[in-house]
Amino acid sequence: MPPAPPPPGPPPREPAGSAVRSGLIDRHIAFVEALRGAGLPVSLAEGLDATAALRRLDWTDRSAVRAGYAATLVKKAGQRTTFDTLFDLFFPHLVGEGLATLDPAAEDPAAGRALDPSRDNAEAVAAFRERLATTLADALAAEAGERSEHSDGDAAPPGDDLARLAAEAVGRFGAMPGRTAGQTAYSAYQTLRRLAPGELTDRVVAGLLGDLDTDAMDPAARERAERSVARGVGRFTRLVEDDARRRIAERKSPEYVADVAVRPSIDRLAFTAARREDLEEMRRQVAPLARRLATRLAKQRAAQRGGPLDFRRTVRASMSTGGVPIRTLHRPRRPHRTDLVVLCDVSGSVAHFAQFTLLLTYALRENLGRLRAFTFVDRTTEVTHVLRPGRDPAEVMEELVASTQHAALVGRTSYGAALHSFRSQYGDALGPASSLLVLGDARSNYSDLALDDLRAMTSGIRAAWWLNPEHPRHWDSGDSAASRYAAVVPMVECRNLVQLEEFVQRVL
């Protein structure tokens, strides 16, 4: 795909008498700035590497430019999504409608004619949905390789069709009058609401299955088709969102959109702001995170040398230096293992956070002595049996969610009642060797806080921490009793995976 010229905007002022500036360097610098703003640590040296790389690459090949930038600037897999979004903003694959060949009726939207009723009415929506269904079905069929013989080799890859369709959809159905006359604004939300691609699923599934679709058919095949269609619809949704962002970036500036519309990378995304698919992605991050932490912990322990001298190995090692013991070797120290008691608030908004932390501690259990886990809303219940070793994390998660109903009597969070019931029922779980970890936002619906119970629980144990998934500026607002609990148990802010990782590494 040809690269886009810089989008229309205020033309860069050129100093008189200087050579013509392409604006490429400005754009490069703005792009690097935006990456830094989004939390990618791009150093000056890496920026220079990127320019060196681009000089070796063909500017007309957008995927090569993307690969060149990615190789030199992005050094963590988790940051790739952020990078891709910003790259699409700063180096869009097309400008404006860009559809002149596909849709002869397309005209310059800036003139306001995109609102032409013939292009945008109920009939047009229906016709467009028809086309969308066909394109989706074709794309998915081609992907499955079942109908590859029908399409000729010259056809563009199906992904491109879908992208073009998404761009057209935003241009036609997402256009709204802008704030000032003659301007057009674009909305992904409106586009998707009017087209409702989700409701096309059944039709596309039927199209995919074709004549095979009878009651006698294998239910697994139908399920497979449904899943692939859902994936296709999801892709279309993302394309529409991308295209709306691109159009906004053309009008305002990429920097503007980068500031307001780019989501943080998954490890910096707040637990409480996560969407459904983010949660799944986060859950997938738990296992690698636990593995990384375990290696790091093992290394830290290995580094703490100073155990008793291992005489045999020292003499053995001195052989290579002619019998002179140049290097002494020591026995490893007996590792210290923490007995951990985790107490989680599983009510509504903080439930996700508690589950993640519980999953993470569970994944780290090899580094722990004993782990006992309790959940509560207004009553404490033990969930240790759910965290049996060797179980599949997805199942564990489901059971944890199910256990919530045992944790509630009335259903309103009450830390006081929960702490009290913990102390009376499971008080023996805490001993001199154990550490207590409380997970929750300390929002107790103005009920009794049972500070005395908490104080009694934390006296005589090794350590206690409270992880709070809220930003410290929200602590003590409304019904939050954060600082009153913090006076008893040190409270730590833990809003995203990065902070969780830091905490676990520090205390274990």
Partner 1 sequence: MTWFSSPTDAAARLGDAGYLADTATATTAYLAGALEKPLLLEGPAGVGKTELAKAVARATGAGLVRLQCYEGLDEARALYEWNYSKQLLRIQTARGADGAAPDWDATHDDIFTEEFLLTRPLLTAIRRDEPTVLLIDEVDKTDVEVEGLLLEVLSDFQVTIPELGTVVATRKPLVVLTSNAARELSEALKRRCLYLHLDYPDAEREREIVAAQVPDLDDAVARQLVATVVRLRELELKKAPSIAESIDWARTLVALEVRELDQAAISATLGAVLKHATDHDRAVRELRLRA
| Residues at the contact surface with partner 1, assessed by CB under 8 A | 41, 43, 45-46, 49, 52-53, 56-58, 61, 63-64, 66-68, 70-72, 74-75, 77, 80, 143-145, 220, 224, 227, 283-284, 287-288, 291-292, 295-296, 299, 320-322, 390-394
Residue 328, Cβ neighbours under 10 Å: how many? 13
Tell the smallest beta-carbon distance from residue 392 to partner 1 (Å).
5
Residue among 51 and 237 whose Cβ is closer to partner 1: 51
- Can you give the C-alpha Rg of the chain in angstroms? 29
Pairing outcome for strands 175-177 and 184-186: antiparallel
Work out whether strand 338-345 and strand 368-376 pair parallel, antiparallel, or are unpaired: parallel
Distance CA 432, CA 462 (A): 6
Q: Least separation, in Å, of the C-beta of 450 and partner 1?
A: 38
Alpha helices for 121-157 (secondary structure H): 122-144
In the complex with partner 1, which residue's Cβ is closer, 117 or 322? 322
- Smaller CB separation from partner 1, 151 or 320: 320
Nearest CB to partner 1, comparing residues 203 and 283: 283
> What distance in Å separates the CA atoms of residue 354 and residue 440, rounded to the nearest whole number?
7
193 or 292: CB nearest partner 1: 292
**Residue among 388 and 473 whose Cβ is closer to partner 1:** 388
Cα 353 to Cα 280: distance, rounded to the nearest angstrom: 13
* 77-99 per-residue burial string, b: 16 or more CB within 10 A, e: under 16: ebbeebbebbbbbbbbbeebbbb
Report in angstroms how near the CB of residue 143 gets to partner 1 at its nearest. 7
- CA dist., res. 487 & res. 484, Å (int): 5
- The CB-of-55 to partner 1 minimum distance in angstroms stands at 9
- Residue with token string 């519980």: 358
Cross-strand bridge partners of residue 378: none
Least Cβ distance, residue 222 to partner 1 (angstroms): 12
Measured in degrees and rounded to the nearest 5, phi and psi for residue 434 equal -100, 160
Q: What tokens were used for 45?
A: 């040296």
Smallest distance from partner 1 to CB 313, Å: 13
- Nearest CA to 468 out of 298, 345, 305, 334 is that of 345
Residue 286 C-beta: closest distance to partner 1, Å: 10
Closer Cβ to partner 1, 326 or 409, answer by number: 326
Q: Nearest distance from residue 306's CB to partner 1, in Å?
A: 17
Q: Give least dist CB 75 to partner 1, A.
A: 4
Give, for 468, the enclosing helix (H) or strand (E): strand 463-468
User: Rounded to whole angstroms, how far apart are CA atoms 149 and 139?
Assistant: 13
User: For strand 338-345 and strand 380-382, is the pairing parallel, antiparallel, or unpaired?
Assistant: unpaired
DSSP string for 37-70: HTT----HHHHHHHHHHHHHS-TT-HHHHHHHHH
Closer by beta carbon to partner 1, 21 or else 291? 291
Kindly tell me which of 193 and 275 has the beta carbon lying closer to partner 1.
Answer: 275
Q: Which is nearer to partner 1, 144 or 433 (CB)?
A: 144
Residue 266 C-beta: closest distance to partner 1, Å:
14
